[in-house]
């Protein structure tokens, strides 16, 4: 998990997915997308888990930053491969984080 902890408000993009059995190139593409997202202006961090359902939450400063990420040429290519090869289904939700509470031992 990598998350700079800004003061709210900021945006969360919640990506939930169910994978197909096709795995060819998935891990490499996921790693590349993370590395690329981290270079994007407005990127704040990401948290991700995968069991039966995968959940990835990325955090952004603005809707404009999210739009730029969604339209990045490499990300568009990965999205196309995801629809064609890797995902049975997915949902993307964009939310405003208005408040956060944390606990760290």
pLDDT digits (tens, 9 = 90+) for 45-104: 999 999 899 999 999 999 999 999 999 999 999 999 999 999 999 999 999 999 998 888
pTM as predicted: 0.90
SS3 state at 42: coil
In a domain, 88, yes or no: yes
In a domain, 6, yes or no: no
In a domain, 42, yes or no: yes
- CATH of residue 69's domain is 3.30.70.100
Q: How many domains does the chain have?
A: 1
In a domain, 89, yes or no: yes
In a domain, 104, yes or no: no
Percentages helix, strand, coil for the chain (3-state, rounded to 5) are: 30, 35, 30
* Token pair belonging to 6: 């800004």
pLDDT at 1: 46
Give the range of the structural domain holding residue 79, as residue numbers without chain letter.
Answer: 16-97
In a domain, 41, yes or no: yes
In a domain, 2, yes or no: no
* Token pair belonging to 25: 């190139």
In a domain, 74, yes or no: yes
């Amino acid at each position: 998990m990598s998350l700079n902890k800004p003061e709210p408000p900021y945006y969360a993009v919640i990506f939930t997915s169910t994978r197909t059995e096709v795995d060819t190139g998935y891990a490499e593409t996921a790693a590349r997308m993370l590395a690329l997202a981290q270079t994007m202006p407005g990127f704040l961090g990401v948290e991700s888990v995968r069991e039966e359902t995968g959940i990835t939450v990325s955090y952004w400063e603005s809707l404009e930053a999210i739009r730029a990420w969604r339209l990045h040429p490499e990300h568009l290519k990965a999205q196309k491969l995801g629809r064609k090869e890797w995902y049975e289904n997915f949902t993307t939700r964009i939310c405003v984080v208005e408040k956060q509470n944390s606990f760290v031992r």
